Structure 1
Amino acid sequence: MKYFLTIFILNSLFLISCSETPLPEISEKPITDKEEVTEPPVVDKTESKLPKLHVEGRFLKNETGEIINLHGFAQTYSPFFNQNAWNNYDVYGCLSYNKRLIKEIMDAGWKMNFVRMHLDPHWSDDTSKPYVRYEGHERFSKDRFKKYLDEVFVPMAEYAISKGLYVVFRPPGVSPEKIAAGDDYNKFLELVWDIVSKHPKIRNNSDIMFELANEPINILGPNGTYASTGQGHFDQMNIFCQNIVDKIRANADNIIWVPGLAYQSSFSGFANNPVKGENIGYAVHVYPGWYGSDTEEASPELGGTMGGGYESFQRGWDAQVKPVADFAPIMVTEMDWAPKKYDASWGKSFTGEVGGPGFGANFKYIADMTGNVSWLIFTECHRLAKFKNVEGIPGQYTFLNDPEACPWPTYHWYNEYVAGNTGTEAGLEKLSILGVGDKIQILTGGNRYLIVEASFSDGSTKHVTSDTNFEISDQTILTIDNKGRLSALKDGDAVVTATYNAPNGDSDKIIFTVNATTFPLTKEMFNPSIWENGSYDENTKTLVTGQYGFGGWQYGNGIDLSGYKYLVVELGNDNDSNVSFRLFDENNYWSGPAMYDFKNSRKIEIDLHNMVKGENQVKVDPSHIYIIGFWSLGGKPIVIKDIYLTE
Structure 2
Amino acid sequence: MNRKKLLISLAMVMLSMAGLAADNLPALRVQGKNLVDANGKTVVLHGVMDTPNRYFNGWRWQQWKADYSEADIKPCLEYFSKQFSAITDKKQGAYCTVFRLHMDPCWTNDPAKKAENEADISAFNMARYRLYLQKLYIPLIKDAIAHGLYVIVRPPGVCPQDISVGDTYNRYLKGIWKTFAADEYIKQNEGVISIELANEPVRVHLSDGTKDERALHDYFQPVVDVIREQGFKGIIWVPGAGYQSQYQDYVKYPITDSEDNFSYAVHVYSGWYGNMTDKNYDHDTFIRNFKSQVPMVETKPIMVTEIDWSPEDPDKASEGHWNE
- TM-score per shorter chain, which class? 0.7 to 0.9
Gap regions ≥5 residues in structure 2: 7-22
Indicate which of 318, 328, 344 corresponds to 2:291: 318
Q: Which residue is equivalent to 1:98?
A: 80
Distance 1:342 1:78 in 2: 29
Q: Which residue is equivalent to 1:382?
A: none
Indicate which of 240, 243, 246 corresponds to 1:263: 243
Q: Is the 8 A contact 1:283 1:331 kept in 2?
A: yes
Could you say if the C-alpha distance between residues 176 and 66 of structure 1 is closer, same or farther in structure 2, counting changes exceeding 3 Å? same
Q: Is the 8 A contact 1:212 1:244 kept in 2?
A: yes
What pairs up with 1:422-501 in 2 under 5 angstroms? none
**SS of the residue aligned with 2:81?**
helix
Q: Is the 8 A contact 2:115 2:121 kept in 1?
A: no
Q: Which residue is equivalent to 2:155?
A: 171
Could you say if the C-alpha distance between residues 140 and 223 of structure 1 is closer, same or farther in structure 2, counting changes exceeding 3 Å? closer
What pairs up with 1:231-310 in 2 under 5 angstroms? 232-233=212-213, 235-251=214-230, 252-277=232-257, 278-296=260-278, 306-310=279-283
TM-score (norm 2): 0.84
What pairs up with 1:97-246 in 2 under 5 angstroms? 97-107=79-89, 108-205=92-189, 206-221=191-206, 224-226=209-211, 232-233=212-213, 235-246=214-225
Q: Is the 8 A contact 2:202 2:242 kept in 1?
A: yes
Could you say if the C-alpha distance between residues 77 and 343 of structure 1 is closer, same or farther in structure 2, counting changes exceeding 3 Å? farther
Q: Residue 311 of structure 1 aligns to which amino acid in structure 2?
A: D
Q: Which residue is equivalent to 1:332?
A: 304
Q: Is the 8 A contact 1:217 1:264 kept in 2?
A: yes
Distance 2:206 2:86 in 1: 47
Give 1:340 deviation, angstroms. Answer: 1.6
Could you say if the C-alpha distance between residues 222 and 112 of structure 1 is closer, same or farther in structure 2, counting changes exceeding 3 Å? same
Q: Residue 334 of structure 1 aligns to which amino acid in structure 2?
A: E
Distance 1:224 1:188 in 2: 18
Could you say if the C-alpha distance between residues 82 and 269 of structure 1 is closer, same or farther in structure 2, counting changes exceeding 3 Å? same
Structure with bigger gyration radius:
1
What pairs up with 1:595-634 in 2 under 5 angstroms? none
Q: Residue 207 of structure 1 aligns to which amino acid in structure 2?
A: V
Indicate which of 83, 108, 116 corresponds to 2:58: 83
How big is the alpha-carbon RMSD for the aligned residues of Structure 1 and Structure 2? 2.5
Report the more deviating stretch, 189-198 or 308-317: 308-317
Distance 1:75 1:348 in 2: 20
Q: Residue 196 of structure 2 aligns to which amino acid in structure 1?
A: E
**SS of the residue aligned with 2:145?**
helix
Give 1:133 deviation, angstroms. Answer: 3.0
Matched, 1:70 2:50: no
Percent of aligned positions that are identical = 36
Could you say if the C-alpha distance between residues 348 and 281 of structure 1 is closer, same or farther in structure 2, counting changes exceeding 3 Å? farther
Per-residue CA deviation, residues 432-491 of structure 1 (Å, 9 max, x unaligned), is xxxxxxxxxxxxxxxxxxxxxxxxxxxxxxxxxxxxxxxxxxxxxxxxxxxxxxxxxxxx
Distance 1:260 1:202 in 2: 25
Distance 1:198 1:324 in 2: 29
Q: Which residue is equivalent to 1:642?
A: none
Q: Which residue is equivalent to 1:452?
A: none
**SS of the residue aligned with 2:269?**
coil
Could you say if the C-alpha distance between residues 67 and 250 of structure 1 is closer, same or farther in structure 2, counting changes exceeding 3 Å? same
Q: Is the 8 A contact 2:201 2:239 kept in 1?
A: yes
Q: Residue 185 of structure 2 aligns to which amino acid in structure 1?
A: K
Distance 1:343 1:143 in 2: 45
Give 1:248 deviation, angstroms. Answer: 0.3
What pairs up with 1:386-397 in 2 under 5 angstroms? none
Distance 2:95 2:236 in 1: 24
Q: Is the 8 A contact 2:155 2:176 kept in 1?
A: yes
Moved over 6 A (4+): none
Q: Residue 217 of structure 1 aligns to which amino acid in structure 2?
A: V
Per-residue CA deviation, residues 59-101 of structure 1 (Å, 9 max, x unaligned), is 2111111111211111110111122222533000111111111
Distance 1:57 1:292 in 2: 28
Per-residue CA deviation, residues 137-163 of structure 1 (Å, 9 max, x unaligned), is 221111100110111111111111111
More helix by share: 2
**SS of the residue aligned with 1:265?**
coil
Distance 1:245 1:343 in 2: 45
Distance 1:267 1:199 in 2: 30
Q: Residue 267 of structure 2 aligns to which amino acid in structure 1?
A: H
Matched, 1:19 2:2: yes
Distance 1:343 1:95 in 2: 35
Give 1:135 deviation, angstroms. Answer: 4.5
Could you say if the C-alpha distance between residues 168 and 22 of structure 1 is closer, same or farther in structure 2, counting changes exceeding 3 Å? closer
Give 1:213 deviation, angstroms. Answer: 0.1
Per-residue CA deviation, residues 406-457 of structure 1 (Å, 9 max, x unaligned), is xxxxxxxxxxxxxxxxxxxxxxxxxxxxxxxxxxxxxxxxxxxxxxxxxxxx
Distance 2:124 2:264 in 1: 26
**SS of the residue aligned with 1:307?**
coil
Distance 1:144 1:336 in 2: 32
Q: Residue 337 of structure 1 aligns to which amino acid in structure 2?
A: W
Give 1:22 deviation, angstroms. Answer: 6.1
Give 1:193 deviation, angstroms. Answer: 0.3
Give 1:21 deviation, angstroms. Answer: 4.0
TM-score (norm 1): 0.43
Could you say if the C-alpha distance between residues 106 and 222 of structure 1 is closer, same or farther in structure 2, counting changes exceeding 3 Å? closer
Q: Residue 68 of structure 1 aligns to which amino acid in structure 2?
A: V
